[in-house]
Structure formats: structure tokens, C-alpha cells
Amino acid sequence: MNHGHLGKGISSIMHAISHKSSILPRDMTYSHLVTSGLTVGFGGSVGLESPIVVTGSAIGSNLGMLFRFNYRERTLLIGCGVAAAISSLFNAPIAGFVFTLEILLLELAVSSFIPVLLASVAGAITTRALSGTEIIFTAEMTDSFEVAQLYLFMLLGAFTGIVSLVFIRISNRSRKIFANMKTTWHPFIAGSLMLGILIFLFPALYGEGFTTIRALLSGNADFIVEQSFFSKWVDGNALLIPYILLLVVLKIVAANLTQGAGGNGGMFAPSLFVGATAGYFFAQVLQFTGLSGDLHMATFTLVAMAGVLCGANHAPLTGVFFIAEITSGYELMIPLVIVSTLSYITVKYFEPHPMPVRQLMEKGLFAGYDSDTRVIQKLDVRKLIESEIRTIAPEISLGELVEVVANSSRNLFPVVDQSGVFQGIITLDDIRTLMFKPERYNDTFAIQLMHAPPTVLQIQDGMDTAMKKFDETGAWNLPVLDGQQYVGIISKSRIFGMYRQLLASDTNRLDM
């Protein structure tokens, strides 16, 4: 079971790239295939995309280690594995490429786009060679965009943004609820029981949900209702509309119950299901209320899939190109862009970070969106501590202190008592005027000269906390404590020196 740790999903890849030099464990090259297959095979209401993406990235990372590639080259191979995985699943090479850049937040040189694109194309070609043209999900377009429907797609964009926000909020809340359960078996039992009840009452929630999406795209919504426990009551559009809306919410709940119970799967497929049902619901409401004339249900279903895929994952371009590619045409490019953009803006206002990033932030592992922040996050406060700096006792005289200064190359001296408790610091500026007054050597003591530092660091603080304190105080040196016990001094110049070394190694790009 996967419970209570960062061992699955996109967040594990992002963490490996930012904190583990793009090194993923070897067992991840196969373990996710097994556990995700069991999860979905037994009815788990999640998708196979995330586990396969993790598998592809792990294969890329381990190939990089096998051939002793550097950090940049390993990261590039991870991106290639991710792009190939998405492309092979949906026969969507452009979407696979864009997904890699948007979701993983990779910073690649322009020359590195070529191998990622080639990997994505290779994934699609391999799938076609092994299984022909049959892929997991496809749709054919029979309608084109009309300018008169522009306002409808703008409304749909706002609606899918709200649905995406609900998706994210429920997911965040569910993750916290399951994380707070006392034992590993509590989430498994609670999640499995509730999921089983939901699937019994609403069979459409079983597995990834692509059968339901195909039914909606073909206009066969009755097929979804016929399988349900409530089929005898849901007859006609009047009850079909609230039933479809109920599926929108319950799919989000079912997906999170699956993950909370320990199942291995991603939210990519659930977001497609939620988008399809939300779009169908939206079109049915417009038609039922007479707010619009005859609508092509498949058009709104497809475009809403892009809206929720974009909003729930903070990936507007992925949503646009994914739907455009799986429909084998670009007739809906304008509404796709409109809906995805409005959905993204709506979600971004309330939830500035995508779900994988939020998971990392909750654990204090997010390395930021830019390369500078990511490099800084790789620094370890413990390894930057200078513990050899001479400490002085609070009771020593000025004369003894002057002798210490004369034999030291530093201008800062921590004051520490006999039990190792930090008392304060003395700088060269504090005693500069007194050093040339011998008459004060015996009647002035360190305890009188010391002062409190602008702030202190604790041994468990991360580098982001350290840099924030340096910026807030303007200090160049700060003491590091373990509780009240003195550990050492960390200097801004030492941080910058190590930063330059890491930046130099990270910018060693793959030239092509």
C-alpha cells in the first residue's frame, strides 16, 4: 500500500529532480506497473497515466545512471520517459511533449526539446506498431466551432474552472483526512468500504471511467444510467441532469478514496471523467432550459474535458493539445483555448499551486519554480556550518579577549557558557575602541560586551528559512543552535560559494 509517504505520483518525480539529482530508485521501473494494475483491476477509481509516467521517468533516470550521465542529462532522460509514456497511452505526441514541460516544470535548453519530441513520437509509433490504431481513448469530431457560441464556451470555461477548484479542494482535504488516521489499516478499511459502496450504487465510477466518456461522446447517456442502482428512477432528461452532476462530484470522491486507501493511480483519468460529465451536464442544462438551441453534446463534452484537465493540473497547453490530438483534428482549437484559459485563470486565482507542488510544499520539499531556487534548495544547512570558529566564555576579561582576537582571522566570536548554551556574540566592531585602552583590560568582561544576534538558525531549519532570515536581517553571519545549545556559525559568503559550485555543475547542459 502507498500511504503516508511521497513514494508515488508526479510529486515523487519533481522531488527527485530538485532534491535527489534526478535519481529515481530502480524498483520504480516496474513496481508502479504492478500496483497500479492491481488497483485499477480491482475497481480503483483512478487512472493508469501517473504510474506509467513514473515508470517512464524511472527508466530514463536509471538509464542515465547506467551510462554515467550528469544531472542535466539524467533530467532530460526523465523528461523523455514522461513524454513517451503519455504519447504512447493516448497516441498524442505533442500533448506528451507539452505535458512534460508544464507538469514537471522542467527547465530545458531549446536544443533539448528535440530528444523529448523524438521520445514522444517514438512512444506513439511503438504503440501503433504493437496494437495498431487501437488506443485507450479516441473521439471523432462531427461539428465545428461557431462564433455565435462564443459566450457559451466562455461560460463553460468559468464552470470548468469552478469544477476544477472543487476537484483540488476535495483532493487536498481528503489527503489530510487520510494522513491523520492513526494506523495504516484505518485508511485502507475506511477507503475500501466507502469506495465499494459508491461503485455498487454507481458502476460508472469503476476503474478509469473511459467507458463512461465514450458513452457520453456517442450520445448514449442512457447506458450509464442503465447500469446504476437508481436506473428505475432516473428516466428522462429531468432526472438525468442531476444524476450526471452527482457523478461529477462522486468521481472526485471515489478517486481520492482509492488513493487514500492505498491504491496506486493518478488523477489524470479522473479529471477527464469529471470534465466529460461536467461538460455533458452543462450542455444538457442549456438545452433543457432553452437558453440555447440544438447543441452538439460531444463538442461541449470534449471541450470541458480540456477545461478540467487544465484546471485540475494547472496545465492549459496540455489540455488544449491533448483534446485536439485525440480528436484527430483542430476544428475546436478556438473553444479549447478559450475554455482552458478561463478555467486556468479561475483556478489560479484561488489555488496558485498545482496539486503535486502543494504536496511537496506541505512536506517542506518544494524547490521553487526557478533554477536559482532549486539550486539553493539542494544546499544542506548542516554541511555549511562552521564549527571551528573560536568560542569565548562570558566571564573572560577584555585582555584575554584581545589576545584571542590577535590569534584569530575572524571578526566574530560566539559567547558560549560552560554547558554549551549560546549567550550572544561579540564582533570586532564591539571592542575596536576598547582594544587600545589597556587600563580596561581587567575590569571589562565578555558578558558586558556581547550582544544578541539579529536572529538565529536552528539546526533543523531548511535553506529557504536560512536565506529568508539573511534577507530580513541583512546579516552576513548567523549562529546555528540546537535548541539553546551552540552548534556553529553559517555565513552568507559560504552559502554563495557553494551555490556557485552547484550552479556551475547544473548548467553543464547536453549539447547537440
Per-residue pLDDT reduced to its tens digit, 240-252? 889 899 999 999 9
Least confident span in 11-20, 117-126, 185-194, 364-373: 364-373
Q: Convert the pLDDT of each residue in 61-102 to its tens digit.
A: 999 999 999 888 999 999 999 999 999 988 889 999 999 988
Q: How many CB atoms within 10 Å of residue 181?
A: 17
Question: From residue 369, how far is each of 228, 337, 354, 360 by CA, in Å?
Answer: 45, 24, 12, 12
Q: Convert the pLDDT of each residue in 402-453 to its tens digit.
A: 999 888 888 899 999 999 999 999 998 888 888 888 888 898 999 999 999 9
Return the domain boundaries, the chain. Answer: 10-136, 147-362, 379-506
C-alpha cell at 49: 497515466
Fold (CATH) for 147-362: Clc chloride channel (1.10.3080)
* Widest Cα–Cα separation across the chain: 102
pLDDT score of 463: 83
Name the class of domain 379-506: alpha beta
Query: Which DSSP string do the residues of 370-432 spell out, in sequence order?
Result: SHHHHHHHT--HHHH-B--SPPB-TT-BHHHHHHHHHT-S-SEEEEE-TT-BEEEEEEHHHHT
In terms of Cα–Cα distance, which of 213, 171, 400, 88 is closest to 97? 88
pLDDT score of 116: 95
The label of the residue with cell 500533448 reads 95
Q: CB-hemisphere CA count at 13 Å for 373? A: 11
Q: Convert the pLDDT of each residue in 364-415 to its tens digit.
A: 777 665 666 667 767 778 888 998 889 999 999 999 999 998 888 888 999 9
- Inform me whether the pLDDT recorded for 122 exceeds 90: yes
In the chain, % of residues over pLDDT 70: 88
Bridge partners (DSSP) of residue 481 are: 458, 486
The angle formed by the CA atoms of residues 14, 20 and 25, to the nearest 5 degrees, is 85
Distance CA 303, CA 51 (A): 25
- Inform me whether the pLDDT recorded for 128 exceeds 80: yes
- Inform me whether the pLDDT recorded for 183 exceeds 90: no
C-alpha cell at 137: 481513448
* Average pLDDT of every residue of the chain: 86
How many DSSP H helices and E strands does the chain contain?
A: 23, 5
pTM of the model: 0.80
DSSP 456: -
